[in-house]
Amino acid sequence: MREAICSFIYHKLLGWKHRVSIPDYDKYVICAAPHTSNWDLIIGKLFYGAIGRKTLFMMKKEWFFEPLGTFFRAMGGIPVDRDKKSSLVDQMVELAHERTIFHLAITPEGTRSANGEWKRGFYYIALKAQIPILLAGIDYGTKSIIIEKEIYPSGDIEEDMRTIKLYFKNFKGKHPDRFTIGTI
């Protein structure tokens, strides 16, 4: 039922498409970009619901006030205290090890503004948990989400990040001026 509703909204009402050629592994990190609008979360959740998958996502704890907190948790939201000194990477790796299914979506820019210095937490989560990174391109120009590349972190973060950033270079965010892959 959830899949049918998400599919109807994503495909019919909003007119979005998708291409996914990567299997639905039990555990992975989804690196989703460009992230230039709050709409990206809604479009992404509808997309994942339409293909019958569920995802977790991290969001700053300030958004988890009621009644939004209950709503975001039900959607797979994990509140994050960015002022806390504990390692978010280690917390997510522990969660990945505890769960049978672990699909964590992260936007590497860490903001909806242009930022060429992408956060690397998603990479370290996948590396430490020994799970793949699926690259999910959000393209408002074609109204498509495309997942056709996966990366198994090699430990050579500079080379792997170069590959990841190059994958996203032709995707167009809702606000294209707010996206950059930075210097390669």
Give the model's pLDDT for residue 85: 64
Q: How far apart are CA 1 and CA 4, in angstroms?
A: 5
Q: Please tell me what DSSP assigns to residue 109.
A: T
Give the model's pLDDT for residue 146: 96
Give the model's pLDDT for residue 109: 80
Sign (positive or negative) of CA dihedral 1, 137, 134, 148: positive
Give the model's pLDDT for residue 101: 95
Q: What letter represents residue 46's amino acid?
A: L
Query: What does the pLDDT profile of the chain (184 residues) look like in tens digits?
Result: 889 999 999 999 999 999 999 999 999 999 999 988 889 888 999 999 999 988 898 888 888 889 888 988 888 888 887 666 668 898 899 999 999 999 999 988 866 666 667 888 999 999 999 999 999 999 999 999 999 999 999 999 999 999 999 999 999 989 988 887 777 7
Per residue in 135-173, is it b (16+ CB within 10 Å) or e — as a string? bbbbbbeeeebbbebbbebeeeeeebbeebbebbeebeb
Residues in the chain: 184
What are the structural domain ranges in the chain?
Answer: 2-173
Give the model's pLDDT for residue 47: 95
Q: How far apart are CA 138 and CA 38, in angstroms?
A: 13
Tokens of 86: 């504990």
Q: How far apart are CA 66 and CA 4, in angstroms?
A: 28
Give the model's pLDDT for residue 81: 75
Q: How far apart are CA 41 and CA 50, in angstroms?
A: 14
For 111, phi and psi rounded to 5 degrees?
A: -160, 165
